[in-house]
Amino acid sequence: MCRLTIVTTAGRPDEQSLKLAELASQELNAEIISRQKRSVRKLAEIYNANIIVAGKNRFEYYAKGAEAPFFFHPNSAAFRLKRVARGEEEPLLTASAIQKGDTFLDCTLGIGSDSLLAAFAVGETGKVTGLEADKNVAFIVKTGMQTYDTTELPLTGCMRNIEVIHSTALEFLKKQEDASFDIVYMDPMFEEVIEESTNFEALRFAGDHIPLTDEWVKEAKRVAKRRVVLKAHYKSDWFEQYQFQRDGRLTAKFHYGIYIK
């Protein structure tokens, strides 16, 4: 059963915060609750709910019980894009063999970093679709991509071209025609936690963590025109189980698996 979500504002809301709260309320069909000097933790306890906080220039999502909020920021993708711009190899792009004009389906959008890399690679003639199973996370990332000031990180302007859809991967894939996306990409939450990765803790707590299944992989292979790419912990047996060619790197905690049609 899905937990209730409510919307509130920062402690001292301005006009912009109130407008953002109204937007979140409409998009998520969630009630706006006045802050009244109460902490986010207190509101979560009173209403037994997840909390969306409309701040002055962004949304923050506190899943019930979370100590830190999930919010959109393209920092990690911007760092990777700078490396690509310098001509350095980006493992995701190499594994995907992305070309200008390609269609790329990200089955597990999360914070959107991988989709942003893909959007940069496919260019204006291509298309990237990102699926996110958690409605609140999808809302945070979608609005963030639409409104983030890309002048600060100019290479990230391609985020405007990403279509964010609230859906589980399997639900969406079943509705697609055969070979309808050039590349289908899957990055389920790792079976084993990578201790060094602290950037994703808020998402790990907030998002829906749906394990890989036979049906999911079967549908991904059907919908992909050229290849399916799987990202998983280096200890994972998914690569062998689902017949993906492992693209291993000696120092990496995760590997990419490639299935070429």
Together in a domain, 216 and 191 = yes
Total domains in the chain come to 2
**Domain-embedded: residue 189:** yes
Stretch among 13-22, 42-51, 61-70, 89-98 having the lowest mean pLDDT: 61-70
Tokens encoding 75? 């920092």
Rounded CA separation 164/125 (Å): 18
What is residue 200's predicted lDDT score, i.e. its pLDDT?
A: 61
Together in a domain, 104 and 225 = yes
Rounded mean pLDDT, 23-50: 95
205: pLDDT strictly greater than 70: no
**Domain-embedded: residue 99:** yes
Tell me, what amino acid is at 205? F
Rounded mean pLDDT, 48-73: 91
CA 63 vs CA 45, 142, 200, 211: distances in Å: 12, 18, 14, 20
Together in a domain, 223 and 124 = yes
Rounded CA separation 4/141 (Å): 19
Together in a domain, 100 and 18 = no
195: pLDDT strictly greater than 50: no
Give the pLDDT band (50/70/90) at residue 86. Answer: very high
Together in a domain, 19 and 121 = no
**Domain-embedded: residue 220:** yes
The 3-state secondary structure of 163-198 reads EEEECCHHHHHCCCCCCCEEEEEECCCCCCCCCCCC
Rounded CA separation 138/150 (Å): 20
**Domain-embedded: residue 69:** no
Rounded CA separation 233/256 (Å): 9
Query: Of 50, 68, 10, nearest to 34 (Cα)?
Result: 10
Rounded mean pLDDT, 8-35: 94
**Domain-embedded: residue 148:** yes
Together in a domain, 44 and 83 = no
Q: What is the CATH number of the domain that holds 79?
A: 3.40.50.150
**Domain-embedded: residue 162:** yes
Tokens encoding 80? 């990777």
Rounded CA separation 99/115 (Å): 14
Last residue of a domain, one of 41, 62, 83: 62
**Average pLDDT, rounded, for the chain:** 90
- Cα-flanking dihedrals φ and ψ of residue 230, to 5°? -120, 130
**Domain-embedded: residue 46:** yes
Residue 141: HSE in the Cβ half-sphere, 13 Å Cα cutoff:
29
Together in a domain, 87 and 160 = yes
Last residue of a domain, one of 19, 39, 62: 62
**Domain-embedded: residue 67:** no
Together in a domain, 151 and 235 = yes
Range of the domain at 11: 5-62
Q: Tell me what percent of the chain is helix, strand and coil, each rounded to the nearest 5.
A: 35, 20, 40
Together in a domain, 56 and 80 = no
Last residue of a domain, one of 13, 29, 62: 62
Query: Of 48, 108, 124, nearest to 228 (Cα)?
Result: 108
Rounded mean pLDDT, 109-135: 95
Tell me, what amino acid is at 186? M
Together in a domain, 79 and 50 = no
What is residue 201's predicted lDDT score, i.e. its pLDDT?
A: 67
What is residue 194's predicted lDDT score, i.e. its pLDDT?
A: 45
Together in a domain, 53 and 171 = no
Q: What is the CATH number of the domain that holds 45?
A: 3.40.50.10480
Kind and range of the H or E element at 103? strand 103-106
Together in a domain, 43 and 125 = no
- Cα-flanking dihedrals φ and ψ of residue 12, to 5°? -125, 85
Residue with tokens 């859809």: 165
93: pLDDT strictly greater than 90: yes
